[in-house]
Amino acid sequence: TGMALLRDDGDSYSQFEQTVNLDYLLTDRLDLFLEWEMLADFASVDDASQHLLSTGVSFLWTEPLQVSWRVGTGLNDHSPDFLTSLRFSLVW
């Protein structure tokens, strides 16, 4: 769950995010996941929501550093047709 305050081309709005993950640990360092994500805009020019479905793999590189790669697709008209990302996380 999260919230962001955004400004895009003079349009100021807030965005609410909700994510649900299913994880499967292959080893103590390697993880597969399935993720549903919803982004909802409030007070923007286009108050639309995006629904996304992604899958990916996470690897605990070192004790504090995790690297994740995901690919996914949008589930409605306001979502991107295809997405991919490489994420780096520090775990304290």
Contact 86, 67 (CB under 8 A): yes
Distance CA 16, CA 58 (A): 25
DSSP state of 64: S
pLDDT at 24: 97
Q: Give the per-residue pLDDT at 11.
A: 78
CA count, 13 A, side-chain hemisphere, 12? 1
What gap in Å lies between CA 92 and CA 69, rounded to an integer?
A: 20
At 32 the pLDDT is 97
One pLDDT digit (tens) per residue for the chain, 92 residues: 999 888 877 778 888 999 999 999 999 999 999 999 998 888 777 778 899 999 999 999 998 999 999 999 999 998 999 999 999 999 77
d(CA 58, CA 66): 7
Place of tokens 């991919």: 84
What pTM does this model have?
0.78
